Amino acid sequence: MNILVINCGSSSLKFQLINSESEKVLAKGICERIGIDGRLTYQAAGSEKTKTEKDMPSHTEAIQYVIEALTDNETGVIKSLDEIGAVGHRLVHGGEKFASSVIITEEVKKAVEECNELAPLHNPANLIGVNACEKLMPGTPMAAVFDTAFHQTMPEKAYMYGLPYEYYEKYKVRRYGFHGTSHSFVSKRAAELTGRPYDATKTIVCHLGNGASVCAVKNGKSIDTSMGLTPLEGLVMGTRSGDIDPAILEFIAKKENLDIEGLMNMLNKKSGVQGISGLSSDFRDLTDASLAGDKRAKIALEVFSYRVAKYIGSYVAAMNGVDVIAFTAGIGENDELVRAAVCSYLGYLGIEFDEDANNTRGQEIELSKPGSKVRVFVIPTNEELAIARETEALIK
């Protein structure tokens, strides 16, 4: 079966057409600047990438262009829409309503809408993608795969904040966690690589991308993760602060004359390694600058790795041990210096770190030497494939 995987943002829409039997990507691309002007980047497997300016007043036109490209006589990989068996949509926030992926119905859409205020930037955009697909592909089954669902196994002691309980009761203020599809995919793969049963393995997944989170997966279930009600909590990220003393907000608001919107903008867009370095949120820029002697770039990189190592330590405590640690996403897969820095704190776990193996990028590889008490891997994440697998399982 061919499955169209859609990741829809407010002005962009990423897609991949994946064959579920071979797990090969038949074609992929992105529509950008939707609602502004519009650009389609499209690549069929084995062909060159093409970029075309297209008029995209809304997501419906964007999906229409995607369908046209996929079925085009020259660039296409399928003859007609009938060859798409299902659509898998990435949805960011499923709140407490969704502990797993589901087939999309009117009821499901309503329930997702009720989670909108928990992810006001993402969920409404995700739903626009669902509606646009339904309009153009009536009758094709669609699945919703939530970023939060994998973490619904967290126990109360992990998800409750030290806040008045009524905020949980009235507004569902609690920790949810994100990147669930990636944490699930990578932790499963980690168990496979070690030859251990998934339901008897303690794994810590470090999803280190522009957004970054760490997850403790005990016996196949997420028992804790570093992001919270929103993706702002936890690690120091590209432009997000992660954990801070909440009293800083009042202090800075008064000093800088900022309102709540200004504060949130600062925390989400002007903080993290970008804020510390004053230079860039991209780790390649920071590494270059740090090697050239830039002090703030060096501090930013050290703060980032130190925070990751502290979270790993806390999850070792939460699981009473760890069998595997996995690095994934843009930084985790590609930045050998960050991986080495994080692992430099983990000698107490009996990790024997293989510096030579670490000098590789973007590949699945073991970073621990034979005999290491805890095994360490780089496992490239593949959220689209995970969504396609979930979608197929639901359809079947």
Q: Which residues bind ligand AMP (CB under 6 A)?
A: 209-210, 238, 281-284, 329-331, 334-335, 361
Three-state SS for 225?
A: strand
Q: Is 48 annotated as a binding residue?
A: no
**Nearer to ligand AMP among residue 152 and residue 290 (C-beta):** 290
**Nearer to ligand AMP among residue 61 and residue 233 (C-beta):** 233
**Residue closest to 336 by CA, chosen among 355, 350, 352, 349:** 355
**Nearer to ligand AMP among residue 174 and residue 207 (C-beta):** 207
| Contact call for residues 186 and 156 (beta carbons, < 8 A) | no
Q: Which helix (H) or strand (E) covers residue 346, if one does? A: none
**Nearer to ligand AMP among residue 104 and residue 329 (C-beta):** 329
Q: How far apart are the first and last CA of the chain?
A: 11
Q: Is 284 annotated as a binding residue?
A: yes
Q: Is 18 annotated as a binding residue?
A: no
Q: Is 359 annotated as a binding residue?
A: no
Three-state SS for 317?
A: helix
Distance CA 279, CA 306 (A): 20
Three-state SS for 264?
A: helix
Show Cβ contacts of residue 215 under 8 Å, excluding neighbours closer than 6 positions: 151, 177, 179, 183, 187, 204, 205, 207, 222, 224, 225, 226, 315
**What is the smallest separation between the CB atom of 362 and ligand AMP, expressed in angstroms?**
8
**What is the smallest separation between the CB atom of 238 and ligand AMP, expressed in angstroms?**
5
CA angle 211, 122, 144 (to 5 degrees): 100
Q: Is 208 annotated as a binding residue?
A: yes
Q: Identify the active-site residue in 37, 72, 82, 147.
A: 147
**What is the smallest separation between the CB atom of 287 and ligand AMP, expressed in angstroms?**
6
Distance CA 34, CA 12 (A): 6
216 forms bridges with which residues in the sheet? 204, 224
**Nearer to ligand AMP among residue 100 and residue 210 (C-beta):** 210
Distance CA 305, CA 336 (A): 12
For helices 247-256 and 260-269, what crossing angle results, to 10°?
110
**What is the smallest separation between the CB atom of 145 and ligand AMP, expressed in angstroms?**
18
Q: Is 211 annotated as a binding residue?
A: yes
| Contact call for residues 178 and 126 (beta carbons, < 8 A) | no
**What is the smallest separation between the CB atom of 258 and ligand AMP, expressed in angstroms?**
26
**What is the smallest separation between the CB atom of 306 and ligand AMP, expressed in angstroms?**
17
Q: Is 29 annotated as a binding residue?
A: no
**Nearer to ligand AMP among residue 130 and residue 206 (C-beta):** 206
Q: Is 258 annotated as a binding residue?
A: no
Distance CA 297, CA 288 (A): 9
147 is catalytic: yes
**What is the smallest separation between the CB atom of 251 and ligand AMP, expressed in angstroms?**
29
Q: Is 283 annotated as a binding residue?
A: yes
What are the start-end ranges of the H helices in 137-271?
A: 156-159, 165-171, 180-194, 247-256, 260-269
**Residue closest to 42 by CA, chosen among 53, 51, 33, 54:** 51
Q: State the residue number with the nearest CB to ligand AMP.
A: 330
**Residue closest to 18 by CA, chosen among 7, 5, 6:** 5
190: Cα within 13 Å, side-chain hemisphere: 35
**Nearer to ligand AMP among residue 70 and residue 208 (C-beta):** 208
Which residues are tagged catalytic? 147
Known binding residues: 7, 14, 90, 207-211, 282-284, 330-334, 383
Q: Which residues are annotated as a binding site for Mg(2+)?
A: 7, 383
Binding site for ATP, by residue number, is 14, 207-211, 282-284, 330-334
